[in-house]
Structure 1
Amino acid sequence: MAKDIFNTPSEELTLAQKGYKILKAFGEGSYAKVYLSEFQDKGEKTRVLACKIIDTSKAPKDFVKKFLPRELDILIRVNHPHIIHVHSVFQRKSKYFIFMRFAENGDVLEFILKKGSVSEAQARVWFRQLSLALQYLHNMDIAHRDLKCENCLITNNFNLKLADFGFARFVSDNNGKLLLSSTYCGSLSYAPPEILKGAPYLPKNGDIWSLGIILYVMLNKAMPFDDNHIKKLYEQQVSKRWNFRSKVVDSLTPQVKEFLPHLLEPKISNRYSIDDCLSSLWLSMDPRFATLTAAEEQALQASKEGRKAIDAARPTESKGDNVLILKPTDHHHRESLP
């Protein structure tokens, strides 16, 4: 057992019997830690995974009763080439072990802090991949509600994967009626003005604003607004007081300069939808984006069936050794190189 992991010998043994080994910690969230781990099944090659461990005994009741069930419910059902693939989920007493694909190049924020702002061409690739993942979710009436650079993971082939569904939720009821959100979710820097205002909001529209913040950060290695004071932040947002940094503005195309304001649009009725983003002139500048990969097309078609598609795909639960195993269909998508 690694010295920074506080699993019991019994938990370690149970995981080992399933082929899993926890190695070392490399990340931490509000109520969870993320560990490097390994999986080996019946003589197959060892696979490196990430494991998110949530100890519900140390988390607030609101999180355990409301947010965690939503996260698990959505995680084990979604399947998209640009959403981090969940390998399996185990529950043992108060702990949940979520094993997922390991992103070798960290997250977008880490990448930008180390290497600086990315080229517009690279930002276009990552933005498209993120937008396709969001389109998939929105088609099924799921809002992410915590889009930020830290939740955009980068694989060994420099493809982007959307992760962390801790605040995700369905935005309609079983009858298709839209549900307004009244819970403040996500990070202040990425929150749209309607959330800062404190009124019930449409979470899909909020996702688009956050998408715009991510694109701005990719291109500028900075945030568009000063978030040190909420009232001033709100005033800056509604008055559209932001600019591209002088360091990069002359190198950017007119198309991206025209596109980004549609995302950072304070008036919800004028803000782009995810379909508007994907059909934008800026994305169409790259001829490779004229067609979807087979995996992207398959996911899009599945999402068009809406919420029924993932309700039907709900995995079966099997209990044994005091471990709840929720294992989704293991689709392996071929990486699409930028």
Structure 2
Amino acid sequence: MGNICCANGITLSPESKHHSKSAMVLGHSRMTLNRNLNSFDSVYHLDKNKLGYGSYGDVKLCTDKQLMTCKAVKIINKDYLRTSNIESSWFYSKIDILNRLDHPLIVRFHEFFEECDFFYLLMDYHQEGDLLKHLKSNFPLKEDNICSIIHQLLIATAYMHNKKIAHRDLKLENILITTSSGISIKVIDFDTAAYFEGSVLSGKYGTYHYMAPETMNSYYNEKCDVWSLGVIMYIILTGRTNLPGMSDTQSPSNAHRLKLDFTQSLWQRVSAPAKNLLKKLLEKEPIKRVTAIQALDHLWFKQLSYANYDITFSVLDRIFKFNNKPLIRAAKKIILHLKASKDELTSTEKAFLFLDKDYDGEIYRDDILNFYLLRHTNEEAEEYTTEIMRKFCDFADVVVSYSAFVEVATDEMALADTQNLRYLYDLLRSEEVFRNSDLKNKEERKLGKEVLNVNKLSNVFSKAINIDRDAVQIWADYLQTQKCESLDFEEFSAIVAEGISN
């Protein structure tokens, strides 16, 4: 029987809220995952050490030379694709899938490069690593932590399935984890993901001992992901990588031999609801297996709450007070794409998950209304809800995406925070738009005083395409109206603070 200290999966090579659909999905800060036409090496410094590997390439750490921020990059060798009879168009089909994902439990992607020999895909870097690494260091986990992990994975999976996307390689290594303020996860690696709208899935994709038995047949559906979550849950609960009753190879074809014997001593510390859910996830017949959305209604999860009323009310209160003028919205876009506060985003993520009761990754007017009805009269709840929705759009049938929610919910006070201002100011100065000739006078030139050339602001982000250029242009235009050609940090801070407060 395997154990958690030697979980080595075999990755198979691939073959060559139900609401009205008329509602408009709003995603103010959602940036399309675009190709950066610069060379990768001109924008990023690549660390030699691997963070991990995906189905099609290695993942490494890299540093943005301009922003001095760290990201993870998946490097895909085109030679590998060619030898596996995979067209380069495969990569762009995955970009199309990634562009449809916008959720707090799915890693954020930024941009990609295509060069002669490689594709480079940039995403957020999470320092703590994946769930396998966490489990090796912390097994056994408390059951309430396991419950939280599985619940979040089911939320992410239900969201993907609602978008008609099957992941097809859910495993411990494809789940990033953070534990700084409670356990939270991010799903990664969509190399084997596929659309299934209007058709069944086919092909043997994924990592062997996580694959559902039906994937060995010609056709299957998105419930293959639910089986994979069952395998993950079994490993986390028991520390064993091999499902009982199956052969050492753990071939999905042997799933009919699976037998969960809860009378064994290792199950004594596991609650009855947890064991009941595990059986439902590892149901051998897909037609009898629960869907992700059905599993989320399980008794085991009733103990969970990612945000209480006070946290969610605080976030909605920021939205209620949100100043919707273009200058402030532009400032929020820039700060969010540069150096967003982790604590700020964490509270916003929790509120979003708390409001998204049907797990479709979008907030509707009824979600806000039902929240306020918990402690307010009908009249008050309607008034507050109308004002909240007005902050996003004037249309009554607006649907709020995760990115839009984060953008509007960001605390305006953070925009004038000295650290954020310093970071932005240094960023603007980093593009060699500062010349000695820009200094105000000879005395400043002698002192080497730092200044910002206002007239060249709109050209600063020529390489950082994941920064909202319209937002930068709004601030460039505003600073130019202040009739000053160059600004030191104190002057820059004062003008930004005044622009935000007015």
- Length-normalised TM-score, structure 1: 0.75
> What is the aligned partner in structure 2 of residue 108 from structure 1?
131
What does 1:259-270 correspond to in 2, within 5 Å? 259-270=277-288
For the structure 1 residues 262 and 187, does the alpha-carbon distance in structure 2 shift closer, same or farther, using more than 3 Å as the test?
Answer: same
| Deviation string, structure 1 residues 19-51 (Cα, Å, up to 9, x no partner) | x2211222234431111111254xx5x322111
Higher RCO (CA-CA < 8 Å; seq separation 6+): 1
Matched, 1:186 2:213: no
Q: Which moved more, 1:293-302 or 1:123-132?
A: 293-302
Give the aligned CA root-mean-square deviation in angstroms: 3.3
Aligned residue number for residue 103 of structure 2:
80
Residues 73-126 of structure 1: per-residue CA shift (max 9 Å, x gap)? 212331111111112211122311111111212111122223323221111111
Task: Name the structure 2 match of 1:163.
Answer: 188
Q: Which has the larger radius of gyration?
A: 2
- Alpha carbons of 1:128 and 1:140: their partners in 2 closer, same or farther (altered >3 Å)? same
2: CA distance between counterparts of 1:146 and 1:181? 14
Q: Describe how 1:267-282 pairs up with structure 2 within 5 A.
A: 267-282=285-300
Deviation string 1:272-296 (CA, Å, 9 cap, x unpaired) is 1111111111111224478883333
- Mean Cα deviation higher: 294-303 or 123-132: 294-303
5 Å-filtered alignment, 1:282-321, equals 282-288=300-306, 293-296=350-353, 297=355, 300-302=360-362
1:267 to partner: Cα distance? 1.4
* Contact 1:189–1:227 (CA under 8 A) maintained in structure 2: no
2: CA distance, partners of 1:112 / 1:64: 37
Which whole-Å CA distance do the structure 1 matches of 2:99 and 2:113 have between them? 11
Q: 2:93 aligns with which of 46, 65, 70?
A: 70
Give the distance between the partners of 1:146 and 1:124, measured in 2 at CA: 21
The AA in structure 1 aligned to 2:269 is S
Instruction: Give how far 1:261 is off.
Output: 0.4
Equivalent position amino acid for 1:120 in 2: E
User: CA separation in 1, counterparts of 2:155 and 2:164?
Assistant: 14
Q: Relative to 1, partners in 2 of residues 1:295 and 1:329: Cα closer, same or farther, differing over 3 Å? A: farther
1:25 maps to which of 46, 49, 58? 49
Specify which of 77, 86, 99 is matched with residue 122 of structure 2.
Answer: 99
Contact 2:78/2:118 (<8 A) preserved: yes
The answer on 1:38 being equivalent to 2:95 is no
Letter of the structure 2 residue corresponding to residue 252 of structure 1: V
- 8 A contact 1:145–1:207 mirrored in 2: yes
Query: Whole-Å Cα distance in 1 between the matches of residues 301 and 266 of structure 2?
Result: 19
Q: Provide the C-alpha distance between the structure 1 equivalents of 2:53 and 2:304, rounded to a whole number of angstroms.
A: 36
Aligned residues: 292
Q: Which consecutive residues of structure 1, in runs of 5 or more, have no partner in the other structure?
A: 1-10, 314-323, 331-338
2:148 aligned residue (125, 128, 132): 125
Is the contact made by 2:40 and 2:120 (CA closer than 8 Å) also made in structure 1?
A: no
Alignment of 1:254 with 2:281, yes or no, is no
Q: One-letter code of the match for 1:184?
A: K
Segment drifting more, 57-66 vs 263-272: 57-66
**Aligned counterparts of 2:229 and 2:260: Cα–Cα separation in 1:** 16
Q: 1:328 to 1:262 in 2, by over 3 A?
A: farther
Letter in 2 for 1:273: T
- The answer (yes or no) to whether the contact 1:90–1:325 under 8 Å persists in 2 is no
Aligned to 2:40: 15
Are residues 127 and 230 of structure 1, via their aligned partners in 2, closer, same or farther at CA, if it must alter by over 3 Å? closer
Look up the match of 2:78: 56
Cα-to-partner distance string for 1:141-192 (whole Å, 9 max, x where unaligned): 00001111110111363421100000001101xxxx2x12220010110111
Task: Write out aligned runs for 1:112-261 (5 A).
Answer: 112-155=135-178, 157=180, 158-172=183-197, 177=198, 179-196=199-216, 198-202=217-221, 204-223=222-241, 224-225=243-244, 226-229=246-249, 234-235=253-254, 237-243=255-261, 246=264, 248-261=266-279
Scaled by the length of structure 2, what TM-score is found?
0.52
- Hey, what's the Cα distance between the residues in 2 that align with 1:244 and 1:65? 48
Q: Which structure features the higher share of helix residues? A: 2
- State the alpha-carbon separation in 1 of the partners of residues 213 and 302 from structure 2: 29
In the aligned structure 1, how far is the partner of 2:127 from the partner of 2:225?
A: 26
Identity %: 26
Shift of residue 54, structure 1, vs aligned partner: 0.7
Match of 2:69? 47
| d(CA) in 2 for partners of 1:326, 1:194 | 42
Instruction: Measure, in 2, the Cα distance between the counterparts of 1:245 and 1:101.
Output: 43
The letter for the 1-side match of 2:289 is R
1:300 is paired with a residue of what secondary structure? coil
1:94 and 1:139 mapped to 2: Cα distance?
Answer: 35
Q: Which moved more, 1:66-75 or 1:290-299?
A: 290-299
Do the aligned partners of residues 189 and 136 (structure 1) sit closer, same or farther apart at CA in structure 2, a change above 3 Å counting? Answer: same
Alpha-carbon distance in 1 for matches of 2:196, 2:46: 35
The residue type paired with residue 205 of structure 1 is K
Displacement of 1:57: 2.2
CA distance in 2, matches of 1:243, 1:40: 55
